């Protein structure tokens, strides 16, 4: 059986603004799982000093209704932290 999933890509200061922890907390009441998380950055020092953005790619896995709730939460989180999502 194929997983029901939605891919999300975020661009911004992922590590230094602790987005992973904020994402986990924001989705705690939504019945979705965040899976296959990838975070990449060009250079550690430049990323931490917020001179260069980092990228995060992940999937929200769950029912369509729960994924839709999760996407709205992710959009709000991105907006609140000056990030873009795709």
The model's pLDDT over 11-30, given as tens digits with 9 standing for 90+, comes to: 998 888 899 999 999 999 99
What total of structural domains would you count in the chain?
1
pTM (predicted TM-score): 0.86
Distance between CA 62 and CA 31 in Å, rounded? 7
> Sheet harboring 33-40: ordered strands across?
33-40, 54-61, 5-12, 84-85
CATH code of 20's domain: 3.30.70.2520
List the domain range (segments joined by +) for residue 39.
5-85
Distance of CA 36 to the CA centre of its chain: 11
Of 58, 54, 62, nearest in space to 74 by CA: 58
At 9, list the tokens: 């890509």
pLDDT in tens, 22-57: 999 999 999 999 999 999 987 777 666 667 888 999
């Amino acid at each position: 059986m194929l997983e029901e999933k939605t891919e999300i890509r975020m661009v911004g200061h992922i590590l230094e603004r602790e987005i992973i922890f904020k994402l986990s907390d924001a989705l705690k009441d939504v019945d979705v799982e965040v899976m296959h998380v990838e975070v990449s950055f060009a250079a550690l020092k430049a990323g931490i000093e917020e001179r260069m953005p980092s990228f995060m790619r992940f999937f929200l896995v769950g029912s369509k209704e729960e994924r839709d709730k999760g996407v709205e939460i992710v959009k709000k989180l991105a907006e609140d932290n000056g990030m873009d999502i795709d």
